Amino acid sequence: MFGKKDTNLTPETVTKLLEKVIDPELEKDLVSAGMVKDVQIDSGRIRIGLELPTPAWEPKALLEQEVRRVVGKEAGDRKIELAFGSNVRVSRPGQSAGQNLVPGARNLILFASGKGGVGKSTVATNVAAALANLGANVGLLDADIYGPSIPTMLGTHEKPEVSGQKLIPVNRYGMKLMSIGFIVDPKEAMTWRGPMLNGALIQFMRDVEWGDLDYLVLDLPPGTGDVQLTIAQNVKVSGAVLVSTPQDVALADVTRGKAMFDKVDIPILGVVENMAHFVCTSCSAKHHIFGKGGATRLAKELQLPLLAEVPLEVSTRESADAGRPEVLANPNSGASQAFFGLAKKVATMLAKKAAAGGIKASGGLKIIQ
């Protein structure tokens, strides 16, 4: 029960109340963190505008709950309305690279694996779709020149248009997409040597009209070859996510992948254990088909965070085959919840790094709710 309406309630007193709400990630109150952008009061409502560091901010639901609780004690029968905006900051450390071919992307995230078959493209696609669904401006670059899977997973083989000297990325599910699969006949065998492959990748970064992006997600080919080195030399990377399955043969390659990223000064955000377990639909028992907790142990050994454990579900494969990401086709599935959690965790980590570095926001206020 709320108390009697405070007729002396002003925007200033409400702002003072918001100093009691602490953001658990920034460890600051909302006012000190610069999140309170607008407070309006009339006879029937209190409207509060909050600006988040990213639309995928992990504590968003908790902050809304706390704001309603704290302000509600003084609001009487006024309705509390919250409007969330975001202003994504640049989070790209100064690597040795002398150029940055995608200047419009404030955050560039690599999804990598030491070997093929671990579901890296599925993870990258669903994280990108989750970020877009949460309100971010997202691009997805299929950097696996020899085995492009993004066109199939997103259900489009549309040819990109050309404007002047630039390719216009394909738009799908609120994301900007580019893949060699949009240009080369899918039945054609890719027999390009290293220089041709690297040239194509550079063109996909430099000669594509990516525009203004909060996040550009790159789905890398498996291994530690030319593509990874080309990216390290030509763009400023915010961080890399290493994807593995639990068995030892996949985990050993993750260790090599970490060593490669360490050599080229690309920060590693953490490890994702894909196909972590399977839940039987008839008995509800959890089965660890590929082993149990392997990525958890490896992350601890490598002193990296375990970002997510994604369950093995039939619907994830069905969604990919149907050309619609699991997070959109079945948003309440176990895999989707893991993908959404991963997207929020990665975006929050990058936002905290940007805030700690004092980098100016350059995205402009964007309303997300």
pLDDT at 223: 67
User: Closest Cα to residue 205, out of 102, 51, 67?
Assistant: 102
Buried b (16+ CB within 10 A) or exposed e, 353-364: bbbeeeeebebe
Q: Which residues pair with 272 in a beta bridge?
A: 243, 308
Q: Quick check: helix, strand or coil at residue 277?
A: coil
pLDDT at 105: 93
- CB-side neighbour CA atoms (13 Å) of 149: 23
Cα distance between residue 270 and residue 264, in whole Å: 16
The domain locations on the chain are 11-86, 105-357
The label of the residue with tokens 């149990």 reads: 292
pLDDT at 1: 40
User: Closest Cα to residue 275, out of 298, 252, 303, 295?
Assistant: 295
pLDDT at 6: 55
Cα distance between residue 178 and residue 140, in whole Å: 7
Cα distance between residue 271 and residue 363, in whole Å: 28
Q: What phi and psi, each to the nearest 5 degrees, are found at residue 354?
A: -65, -40
Please count the other Cβ atoms lying within 10 Å of the Cβ belonging to residue 82: 15
**CA distances for 230 relative to 71, 100, 101, angstroms:** 52, 12, 11
Per-residue pLDDT tens digits for 291-328: 677 777 888 888 899 999 999 888 999 999 999 999 99
Cα distance between residue 232 and residue 226, in whole Å: 10
pLDDT at 3: 47
| CATH topology (fold) of 105-357 | Rossmann fold (3.40.50)
pLDDT at 192: 56
- The answer to whether the CB of 146 falls within 8 A of the CB of 180 is no
pLDDT at 117: 77
Class of the CATH domain delimited by 11-86: alpha beta
Tell me the helices (H) and strands (E) count for the chain, helix number first.
11, 18
* pLDDT tens for each residue of the chain, 369 residues long: 444 555 578 999 999 999 999 999 999 999 999 999 999 998 899 999 999 999 999 999 999 999 999 999 998 889 999 999 999 998 866 544 456 888 899 999 999 887 677 889 999 999 999 999 999 999 999 988 777 889 999 999 899 999 988 999 999 999 999 998 888 766 665 555 556 667 788 888 899 999 999 999 999 987 666 777 788 778 889 999 999 888 766 567 778 888 888 888 889 999 999 886 667 676 766 766 666 777 778 888 888 999 999 998 889 999 999 999 999 999 999 999 999 999 999 999 999 999 887 444 434 445 555
**CA distances for 129 relative to 66, 136, 154, 156, 347, angstroms:** 28, 10, 10, 15, 13
